[in-house]
Amino acid sequence: MNSWGGFAVITPIERFGWEDMEKQYRLRKNGQFRYVYKKGKGGACREMSVGFIKGPKLLVGFSVSKKIGNAVTRNKVRRRLREAFRAELPKLRRGLYVVTAREAAAEADFARLSQSLRYLLRRQGLYRDDVK
C-alpha cells in the first residue's frame, strides 16, 4: 500500500492480486490469435468457442466482437470470461488458448459462462492429467 498526502492509496495489484499474473498469461499479437485460429483445434457452445494449440507456456487471449453489443457490454463479457478462465489456470495444459465470445454471452451470467468454459475445456481434454 502506498501513502499519498496522508491517504492510503491501494494500487490495482495490491487490491486484486492478479494483475501481474494476468499480463504474464496474455496473448497480445494479432499473429498469435491468427496462428491459433488457423492451426489449433477448437470447440464451441452457445456462449463461446475455445481454440487451443500446444505451446511451451500457457497463454490466453479473449476476443469479443462488436456483434456482442456496445463497449460496456463487451467489456463486461470480457471481464467475466477472464475471471472464469483465471480460476481454471492452475489445472490447464500449456499452450495457446483463444476464447471467442458469441452473442449469447451478453445475456449469460457469470455462473453460466464459467460452466460453459469448464465444459469446453473438459470436452477438448485440456485439463492436465494430474488434476481432476
Residue 91 lies in a domain: yes
Query: How many domains are contained in the chain?
Result: 1
pLDDT tens, the chain, 132 aa long: 444 444 444 444 444 445 555 788 899 899 999 999 999 999 999 999 999 999 999 999 999 999 999 999 999 999 999 999 999 999 999 999 999 999 999 999 999 999 999 999 999 999 998 765
Residue 132 lies in a domain: no
Q: Write down the pTM of the prediction.
A: 0.81
Residue 5 lies in a domain: no
pLDDT at position 132:
57
pLDDT at position 131:
66
Residue 7 lies in a domain: no
How far apart CA 95 and CA 24 sit, in angstroms, is 13
Residue 129 lies in a domain: no
Per the structure, the complete domain to which residue 68 belongs is given by: 19-123
Task: Report the chain's terminal Cα–Cα distance, integer Å.
Answer: 37
CA-wise closest residue to 60 among 87, 102, 116, 112: 87
Instruction: Supply the CATH number for residue 90's domain.
Output: 3.30.230.10
Residue 35 lies in a domain: yes
